[in-house]
Amino acid sequence: MIKKVLVANRGEIALRVIRSCREMGIKTVAVYSDADRNSLHVLSADEAYHIGPSPSLESYLNIDKIIHVAKASGADAVHPGYGFLSENTKFSDRCKQEGIIFVGPSAYSISNMGDKITARKTMIAAGVPVVPGTVDMVTSEEEALRIIEEIGVPVMIKASAGGGGKGMRLVKNSNEVTSALRAARSEAKAAFNDDSVYIEKYIESPHHIEFQILADRHGNAIHLFERECSVQRRHQKIIEETPSPILTHEKRMEMGEHAVAAAKAVNYEGAGTIEFIVDNNLNYYFLEMNTRLQVEHPITEMVVGVDLVKEMINIANGLPLTYKQHELQQNGHAIECRIYAEDPENNFMPAPGKVTHIETPSGLGVRVDGYIYEGFEIPLYYDPLIAKLVVWGGTRKESIDRTLRALHEFKVTGVKNNVRFLERIALAEDFVKGNYNTHFIEDNYDFLMQAGSNTQTDQDLVMIASLMEYLDKVKPVQPEAKATRKNNWKDYNRVRNVMKF
Amino acid sequence: MSYEVKLKDRTAKVELLSRNGSQLAVSVDGKEYHLDFVKVKEGSYSIIHNNVVNNIVLLPIDGVKKYLVNNFKITCETEVIDAETRYLLSRRKGSGDDGEGTILAPIPGKVVKVLAEKGQPVTAGQTVVIISAMKMESEFKAAKDGVVADVKVTEGQTVDARQPMVIIEYNSEK
């Protein structure tokens, strides 16, 4: 049985893993780069080892150093969290060679699901729906026309050597097929000297819905229902919720079964996520599998009542799953808001810096998975995610209301953040009605970016506070100067100089 | 004693009339306020006005006169204009040197690329420096046509927020 876990990560997820380990009586080992000596994951672990300079390539991604720490500390397992080494087959293999338990799937499952073409073929074989289209490259025009007729417009024609939008054509009407195909191929030929293309059904107004699965090494696999992740900005998820407002009970059960089949098809072991793309008519297609714990996993934990990290550790210990499918159900509704250190008013530019104040919400149904505290300097080397606000409510309406209440309580100053932007999302009519897809942010951009407004009184109070702060800061200089004139004259002068510049 | 406080394009005359413990009487452009005004902790104020609760957080920027203020409706910058500032403003008038040609790092980060050198002419919109922070790269561009007067950073260097990176002497408008 695992007695000591090395957490090969940082930030909120490292803290998340450490919490479950502590509840299980498992010792924890943190690793940290130069920038993270003061990070909360280091302060919370039983042991901590420095692993190198701030850039992640020289620290959190350095396999040799992490393996070395695992050995030196006597850790019998490594939990990779998400990002960094979590989906790295070399790391997973290396742990195995060194006799350290990797809390996650085998290298075989990771690589099978990591390569899109292989994953697509595996899923077709397992009977899981994939986006209709070609499995292999299309080289002749006749063949392409035949395939497009088969799957129906709209379709996307993509150059196999493509990238950066070159050689890509969206076909909405069947009379455009020939010209679009020729244009895509000649563009691809010119850009990549390769005119082979592949064809995929184009999903208009797609929803991104994923299923959480758990699988053990005894062949048991279950799903823990879905997470709706369609509120995205440039493919970056911002708010997730469960249950999805668009799924029906029947569709949910059907998709869940396919998610389980997908996991079984690659002999999956551990916690994983099957991502589906879903259209307005609830047709769904396998997109990809994430072979790790997801950022948004807490909403599943809140609604299903399962600690996913504990389950991962149990599975890594070789134990059978704690739960059977029929024992699980969705209770109430949960929403996660990702709090980023970024400036929405300045094109969402990342905003590292020192946290001067932080007040985190609490109260009924509120969970905050974060890692910053007052005085903490958010490093510029890593992800801008500083906290996840996870809220549970009996109904979707209650959890939206509670999200707004909690965001109102969430106060971070010193670093720019997206709290107000998140508030606008939770207020947007399309979100409240559950009527949204991955185009939500662009469709509602004007509403979301609307600046708050101050009344004349608000402005006056802001000015008064500014003046009082100024008087508070400037006044004490003079009485002090009187008391011990000689020494403080210098200080006084220094302050004067600072003020000048 | 009265001061002027600037908030965006509005400058108001703010006068502290009396202060008795947390009870404050202040006038803003002649309008009188009676407030229960408490400093909760450094930079954080609770103001009760006509029994309405207001929370305001202030962060000093560049010394003791300019603040980034958040009242949980909007974030804005304020500036207290005291005698000294007034004097400096009157002296600066007409010199035209308002520092607008200095490209400051808006955020702490690492300089990925410097695309300008001293003496080089630049055109409006031309990228002069690229900063990387939190896995994202941001480009900083010349606002107008001009000539690079100085380059204060080198590639690979870490910069702090508001650190000057490149100074451009913009062509005067004809």
CATH number at residue B129: 2.40.50.100
pLDDT of residue A491: 59
Does the pLDDT at position A486 exceed 70? no
Same domain, B88 and B143: no
Same domain, B33 and B80: yes
Same domain, B65 and B140: no
Per-chain mean pLDDT for chain A: 90
Overall average pLDDT of the A438-462 stretch: 91
| Residues in B touching A380 (Cβ below 8 Å) | 107-110, 133-134, 158
Q: Is B159 in the same domain as B110?
A: yes
User: Which residue in A has a C-alpha nearest to residue B46's C-alpha?
Assistant: A465
Nearest one of B162, B160, B105, B93 to B130, comparing CA atoms: B105
Contact across the interface for B69 and A346, Cβ inside 8 Å: no
- Give B19-29 pLDDT, tens digit per residue: 999 999 999 99
B56: pLDDT strictly greater than 80 = yes
Chain A CB contacts of B82 under 8 Å are 470, 474
| Chain B residues touching A501 at Cβ < 8 A | 63
- For the question of residue A182 being annotated catalytic, the response is no
C-beta atoms of A453 and B73 within 8 A: yes
CATH among 3.60.15.10, 3.30.1490.20, 3.50.50.60, 3.20.20.370 for A141-201: 3.30.1490.20
In this chain, the answer to whether the domains covering A4-103 and A141-201 adopt an identical fold is no
Same domain, B77 and B132: no
Candidates A460, A477, A492, A497, partner chain B, best to mutate (most B CBs within 10 A): A460
ipTM score for this prediction: 0.73
Q: Read off φ and ψ for residue A168, nearest 5 degrees.
A: -120, 130
**Testing the interface with B: which of A407, A413, A453, A463 to mutate, by most B Cβ within 10 A?**
A463
Phi-psi region of A18 (alpha: psi -120 to 50; beta: other; left: phi over 0): alpha
User: In the listed set B92, B125, B146, which residue is the last one of a domain according to the structure?
Assistant: B92
Are B87 and B7 in the same domain? yes
Distance from CA of B36 to the nearest CA of A (A): 12
Residue B21 lies inside a defined structural domain of this protein = yes
The answer to whether A461 and B49 have CB atoms below 8 angstroms apart is yes
Share of chain A above pLDDT 90, in %: 69
B87 shares its domain with B141? no
* Structural domain span for residue B111: 102-170
Domains of chain A, by residue range, sit at: 4-103, 141-201, 205-331, 339-452, 456-500
3-state secondary structure of A236: strand
CATH fold of A4-103, please?
Rossmann fold (3.40.50)
Q: Check whether residue B139 and residue B82 sit in a common domain.
A: no
The tokens for A225 are 């229902």
Tell which of B92, B114, B136 closes a domain.
Answer: B92
Q: Right CATH number for A205-331 from 3.30.470.20, 3.60.21.10, 3.40.50.150, 3.40.50.720?
A: 3.30.470.20
Average the pLDDT over A303-311 and give the result: 98
Per the residue annotation, which of A10, A185, A227, A292 is the catalytic one?
A292
Q: Do B112 and B41 belong to one domain?
A: no
Residue of B nearest to A467 (CA): B80
- Altogether, the residues listed in chain A come to a count of 501
Q: Which pLDDT value is given to residue A259?
A: 97
**pLDDT for res A355:** 92
CA R_g for chain B: 21
pLDDT tens digit string along A121-140?
899 999 999 988 887 777 78
Contacts of B79 in chain A (CB under 8 A): 466
pLDDT above 70 (res A479): no
A498 and A477 Cβ atoms separated by less than 8 Å: no
Strand A77-79, strand A101-102: pairing: parallel
Domain total for chain B? 2
Q: Give the pLDDT of residue B93.
A: 54
* pLDDT of B96 higher than 50: no
Q: Tell me whether residue B58 is in a domain.
A: yes
Per-residue model confidence (pLDDT) at position B95: 46
Which of A423, A469, A496 should one mutate to test binding to chain B, selecting the residue with the greatest count of B CBs within 10 A? A469
Q: Within a domain: residue B97?
A: no
Q: Which CATH number is B34's domain given?
A: 3.30.700.30
Highest mean pLDDT among A169-178, A244-253, B145-154: A244-253
Q: Are residues B88 and B109 in the same domain?
A: no
What pLDDT is attached to residue A488?
57
Q: Per CATH, the architecture of A339-452 is what?
A: 2-Layer Sandwich (3.30)
> What pTM does this model have?
0.84
CA distance B98 to B67: 19
Helix (H) or strand (E) holding A389: strand A385-393
Q: By the CB < 8 Å criterion, does A117 face chain B?
A: no
Residues B66 and B120 in one domain: no
In a domain, B34, yes or no: yes
Q: pLDDT tens digit string along B98-147?
A: 456 888 887 788 898 999 899 999 998 888 998 888 877 888 888 888 89
CB neighbour class for B120 (10 Å; exposed up to 12, middle 13-18, buried from 19): middle
Residue B31 lies in a domain: yes
The answer on B74 and B6 residing in a single domain is yes
Burial call A32-70: b when 16+ CB within 10 Å, e when fewer: bbebbeebbbbebbebbbebbebebeebbbbeebbbebb
Secondary structure (3-state) at A460: helix
